[in-house]
Amino acid sequence: MDFSMTPGTFLFEAWQARFSLLNGLSVTIGSSAITIVLATLLGILVGITLAYGWWPLRLLARLYVDFMRGIPVLVLILFTYYGLALFGINVPAFWAGVIALSAFATAHVAENLRGAVQSVPAGQMEAAKSIGLRFDQRLRYVIIPQAFRRMLPPWVNTGLEVVKGTTLLSVIGVVELLLASQQVMARNYLIIDFYLLAGAMYLAVNFALAQLGGMLERRFSYLRY
């Protein structure tokens, strides 16, 4: 790898392509952040339904989770973008990718939350009930805080998979980091160099997300039962 700043070298070409790469990185981070937020909120709802919902709702939630966990993310992305168009529903490529990734990640968050909630000793729910807390209050103040601490490690793993999953958005034309890097490579043919650069940028994003997860784990480490 040539680090001189003469035309045709890696540093020169990287500097020339900096805006394209940074724009691709911003799309990757933006789509990942939106997906993680949506999947977390929806996953909590579906997870609570799996654990405490009325049995028809539990059945629907279980079917959704099992179906989404069994479908490749690429298939979901292609169906959301191309399949919905067959029914007259035209979704922009970026949002089609976010919807598909969110649907996939929601299933994983829901299953993680269900397992975490059901791992909290039943006595915790009974104790909260005995002091007069309503069901929603028992969840909010007693069960969910303890379950959240338990589900943090798998939640971080899901977030990391979402970041890596954004690379699949390139198949529907979303210019995220990978596609932006490939477009740069097509101009300068520095394949190895820019793949290494893209890998380093993905690593930096995932490292930051992992650090966030570690910070949250330390924040909730005081919760005991």
| Helix/strand/coil percent split, the chain, to 5 | 85, 0, 15
- The whole-angstrom separation of Cα 135 and Cα 127 is 12
pLDDT per residue over 74-86, tens digit each?
Answer: 999 999 999 888 8
- The whole-angstrom separation of Cα 181 and Cα 24 is 8
With a threshold of 0.85, does the pTM exceed it? yes
- Residue 86, amino acid: L
Rg for the chain, CA atoms, rounded? 21
Does the structure show a pLDDT above 80 at 159?
yes
Does the structure show a pLDDT above 60 at 224?
no
Higher pLDDT, 4 or 48: 48
Mean pLDDT of 156-181: 95
Three-state secondary-structure class, residue 89: coil
Q: Domain map of the chain by residue range?
A: 29-219
Superfamily of domain 29-219: MetI-like (1.10.3720.10)
Higher pLDDT, 130 or 7: 130
pLDDT per residue over 88-110, tens digit each?
Answer: 888 999 999 999 999 999 999 99
**H or E segment to which residue 29 belongs:** helix 18-52
